[in-house]
Amino acid sequence: MEPEGSTKSKRKRKRVELEVSPEEQEHEHSDAAVDRISNLPDSILCHILSFLPTKEAVATSILSSSWKPLWTLVPALDLDTQLSVSQSQCLDSNNRTQSVSFFTHIVSRVLALNKAPVLRDFCLTCHSRCDPLHLETWILTAIARDVQQLQLDICLDGFIKDEFYSGELFVLPQSFFSCKTVVILELWNGIKVDPPSSFEFPSLKDLRLVHVFFRNGDCVQRLLSGCPVLQDLKLCSDSRSGLIRFDIRVPTLKYLCLQFLTFEPSLPDYKLAICAPALKCFHFDGDLRHVVFLEKLANLVEAGVWIHPFICTREAWTKGYQIGYGDRVFRLLKALNKAKSLTLYPGKKQCVDFGSIYPSRFKNLVRLNFTLQKSNWHVLQALLRVSPNLEVLVIDKLYSRTNQLCSMEPFDGPGYVSSQLTTFRFNQYKGSKYEVEFVKYILKEARVLKTATISVCDTALKESVIEELSKFPRSSTTCLLTVEVQH
């Protein structure tokens, strides 16, 4: 134990160390007043401004004389009529016309004043009645400036109803397809795509087509054939876009995301053939019709399928749709059997004709995320039986207490659970008869299980679930069983 004097001296030294002279305080205040951002190099400031909408980047010119010219050097332009015209929707037609004219003048001036060596990014959102000739001029100016990332969202009639545009279309000019520098291209909404018979986007790697329009299905493959290095394709379409029969043939494609939505009176009778042998990731969302892979997906790593069957008021058509529904799900899953990770929501319709996946096996599958609902329990059972190397199983539930699992075939013997299963999770667990049987079976058969997490909806249910599950036998002596409340 140190003497009292020693302790006092230490406290005194601490007080001395904390004392700051008036000169030092003045120096600190001086440092605080320094505008450190303005002292950054212009190249860094321009990089920072490139993340702002152009309207906000221009506004920084009032900060000081040194900031005034900076926005003209930014290699990215983000121009949006909604920032200047949307407030005029409640005005009369004359005022709306004036607002559009003002926006047209601003865009033309911004493009003329931009002095960046290369216009790296050009984003144009036009949800107003702009003159198509002005739009064409702006787009071709960006192309002439060696644009690398080009995003166009055009709705000439200015509004989208039910997430779908049905007004006048803006037709891309033929000279648009001469761009040699674009790497990322995004086209949204009221744009009509009709590429020439011969063209090339030699640098394009990422193409996103979201609810745009095509003259016919041939336009899709004609567009893709002009993209020799394309790696990433996202195509969001619906029954009103003109796509009925079309192909996706891209030997370099690695990532493919498809979304198909259907609205009455149209019916989802599209036919799609895919030839993408280099594909690593495949996502599908929407109404599933005739989707065929022409080559095996030997390089597939990840697949996600979310099926939302079309609900139609025509009884005869609906009956025919349901008859072949299970077979379509079955054939799509067979094509994805090389995946290491699979996320599946097979929809609310019962997969009546879902066949036996044998002899096809998911030997590479190590992770399965399955959204369970009352009609497709047998799809999960089939997948578990053919996934011998599954390590992670996550169940998401999509039914209520009044809409429970029905006619679940009982598990018979040890054929359903992978000997490699280490992680199991069941979300939205409510303790129904079939849920209890399923969890009990997993705990009993999974011999190397490390974690089992059961997620419940409310705290009141948590204690009873813990008590019930703790009584179940577990093959794995190291399994950590957790029950949590998911809000």
pLDDT in tens, 141-159: 999 999 999 999 999 987 7
Confidence band for 61, pLDDT divided at 50, 70 and 90: low
Tell me what the mean pLDDT of segment 396-416 comes to: 61
Band of residue 311 on the pLDDT scale cut at 50, 70, 90: low
Of 246, 253, 258, 257, the closest CA to residue 278 belongs to 253
Averaged pLDDT for residues 362-369: 96
Q: What pLDDT is stored for residue 48 in this prediction?
A: 64
Q: Exposed, middle or buried: residue 201 (CB in 10 Å: 0-12, 13-18, 19+)?
A: buried
- Domain boundaries, given as residue ranges, for the chain: 41-74
- Single-letter amino acid, residue 29: H
Q: Are 145 and 118 in contact (CB under 8 A)?
A: yes
Average pLDDT over residues 360-372: 92
Residue 459's alpha-carbon distances to 70, 432, 455, 462, in angstroms, are 56, 17, 10, 5
* Upstream peptide bond of 410 is cis (omega within 30 degrees of 0): no
Which SS3 state, helix, strand or coil, does residue 385 take? helix
Q: At what angle are helices 93-113 and 132-144 packed, to 10 degrees?
A: 20
* Residue ranges with strand state E in 352-450: 367-372, 392-397, 423-429
Distance, CA of 222 to CA of 105 (rounded, Å): 35
Sign of CA dihedral 465, 467, 472, 474: positive
Estimate the share of the chain in helix, then strand, then coil, as percent rounded to the nearest 5: 30, 25, 45
pLDDT confidence of residue 257: 97
Mean pLDDT of 164-177: 90
Q: Which residues pair with 429 in a beta bridge?
A: 456
Q: Which residue has the higher pLDDT, 446 or 50?
A: 446
**pLDDT of amino acid 6:** 47
Residue 66 has pLDDT above 70, yes or no: no
Residue with more model confidence, 9 or 281:
281
Q: How far is it, in rounded angstroms, from Cα 232 to Cα 279?
A: 9
Task: Please give the model's pTM, rounded to 2 decimal places.
Answer: 0.81
pLDDT of amino acid 15? 40
Exposed/middle/buried for residue 204 (C-beta within 10 Å: 0-12, 13-18, 19+): buried
Q: Number of H helices and number of E strands within the chain?
A: 11, 21
pLDDT at 12 over 60: no
**Cα within 13 Å of Cα(263), Cβ side:** 10
- Which of 23-27, 307-311, 368-372 comes out lowest in average pLDDT? 23-27
Average pLDDT, the chain: 80
- Distance CA(136)–CA(150), nearest Å, equals 13
Three-state DSSP state, 427: strand
Burial class for 47, CB neighbours closer than 10 Å (0-12, 13-18, 19+): middle
Summarised one tens digit per residue, pLDDT across range 195-219 is 999 999 999 999 999 999 988 888 9
By mean pLDDT, which of 25-29, 236-240, 287-291, 340-344 is the weakest?
A: 25-29
- How sure is the predictor about 46, in pLDDT bands with cuts at 50, 70 and 90? low
DSSP secondary-structure letter at 75? S
Given a contact cutoff of 8 angstroms between Cβ atoms, the answer to whether 148 and 181 are in contact is yes
